């Protein structure tokens, strides 16, 4: 599912690598917590997985694709298999809950009845069926993050990446978001959640926990 071999990432203009000597194998169906303090490289790790950054050296393989060599024209097809949730939701203002969710399908070339069915089903799963035609900017933070989850899951990705998905939420909403992420995992999605919040890790039973510290994986990860 995910394979890292001697991966190093140094950002332009920086001397110290954000990630260094990363070797890792994530199996299909795993639930992985990527933990570590601020600046440890968690976001960088996730960005390598969905092609937002290229490794400086080493091999990053995601769903069989070599992320350092994948041609630009092959990227949209790969991205369709990867759902991403961010701390700050990244929803499109001025569009409704339904439209924000449907957008993920229309860019994947899925329209019409199939789109309508998948969007409705996914909104029901995250408890937002009744809010489908509400503008996203009028929703609470917890609701907005549920829209972000719906958008990440509507195309039925094989891999779900979440970067501090509960960082801006109160404990109750954070629990609800993690419940939905666990639900996606139960349905067969491989999940990687980056967080520096140890409380979050307690909400899931039996995850694989990997720790980054100053760009390196700690022993035992
Ligand atoms: N676009 C960038 N350009 C230059 N340096 C960057 C860039 N993005 C991140 N870095 C640096 O890379 C290192 C790792 O950053 P990263 O954002 O991956 O950490 P993080 O573990 O996600 O931290 P946080 O918990 O604060 O989100 C940091 O030293 C950071 O300053
Ligand atoms: Mg981060």
Q: What is the CA radius of gyration of the chain?
A: 17
Closest residue to atom 14 of ligand 1, CA basis: 41
Contact 145, 173 (CB under 8 A): yes
Q: Where residue 197 falls among pLDDT bands split at 50, 70, 90?
A: confident
Closest CA to 167 of 189, 136, 191, 194: 194
Ligand found nearest the CA of 17: 1
For residue 215, the ligand closest to its alpha carbon is: 1
Q: Mean pLDDT throughout 88-93?
A: 94
Task: Give me the CATH topology for the region 1-81+157-221.
Answer: Rossmann fold (3.40.50)
* CA-wise closest residue to 22 among 46, 5, 9, 41: 5
| Residues 32-55 pLDDT 10s | 999 999 999 999 999 999 999 999
Q: Which of 209, 151, 155, 159 is nearest to 188 (CA)?
A: 159
**In this predicted structure, what is the pLDDT of residue 17?**
98
At 109 the pLDDT is: 87
pLDDT at 220: 63
Domain range summary for the chain, segments of one domain joined by +: 1-81+157-221, 91-156
If you average pLDDT over residues 9-24, what whole number do you get?
97
Please give the pLDDT value at position 200.
Answer: 86
68 Cα: distance to centroid of ligand 1 (angstroms): 20
Q: Which of 7, 12, 13, 14 for a ligand 1 pocket mutation test, highest count of atoms within 8 Å of Cβ?
A: 14
Tokens found for residue 211:
């720790």
CA 207, CA 66: separation in Å to the nearest integer?
26
Q: Is the CB of 15 under 6 A from ligand 1?
A: no
pLDDT score recorded for residue 196: 87
3-state secondary structure of 37: coil
Q: What is the pLDDT of residues 113-165, one digit of tens each?
A: 999 999 999 999 999 999 999 999 999 999 999 999 999 999 999 999 999 99
Cα distances from 57 to residues 22, 79, 110, 194, in angstroms, run: 10, 22, 36, 22
- pLDDT tens for residues 97-116? 999 999 999 988 899 999 99
CA 62, distance to chain mean position in Å, is: 13
Does residue 44's CB lie within 6 angstroms of at least one atom of ligand 1?
A: yes
Q: Is residue 87 in contact with ligand 1, taking CB distance under 6 Å?
A: no
């Amino acid at each position: 599912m995910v394979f890292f071999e001697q991966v190093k990432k140094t950002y332009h203009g920086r001397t110290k690598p954000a990630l260094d000597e990363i070797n890792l194998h994530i199996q299909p169906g795993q639930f992985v917590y990527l933990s570590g303090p601020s600046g440890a490289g968690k976001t960088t790790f996730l960005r390598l997985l969905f092609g937002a950054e290229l490794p400086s050296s080493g091999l990053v393989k995601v769903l069989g694709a070599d992320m350092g060599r994948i041609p630009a024209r092959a990227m949209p097809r790969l991205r369709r298999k990867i759902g991403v949730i961010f701390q700050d939701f990244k929803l499109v203002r001025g569009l409704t809950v339904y439209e924000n969710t449907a957008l993920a399908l229309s860019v994947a070339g899925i329209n019409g009845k199939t789109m309508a069915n998948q969007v409705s089903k996914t909104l029901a799963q995250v408890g937002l069926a009744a809010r489908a035609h509400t503008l996203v900017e009028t929703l609470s933070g917890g609701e907005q993050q549920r829209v972000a989850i719906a958008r990440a899951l509507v195309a039925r990705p094989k891999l779900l990446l979440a970067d501090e998905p509960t960082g801006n939420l109160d404990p109750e909403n954070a629990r609800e978001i993690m419940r939905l992420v666990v639900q996606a995992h139960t349905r067969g999605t491989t999940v990687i959640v980056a967080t520096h919040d140890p409380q979050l890790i307690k909400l899931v039973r039996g995850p694989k926990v990997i720790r980054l510290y100053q760009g390196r994986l700690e022993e035992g990860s």
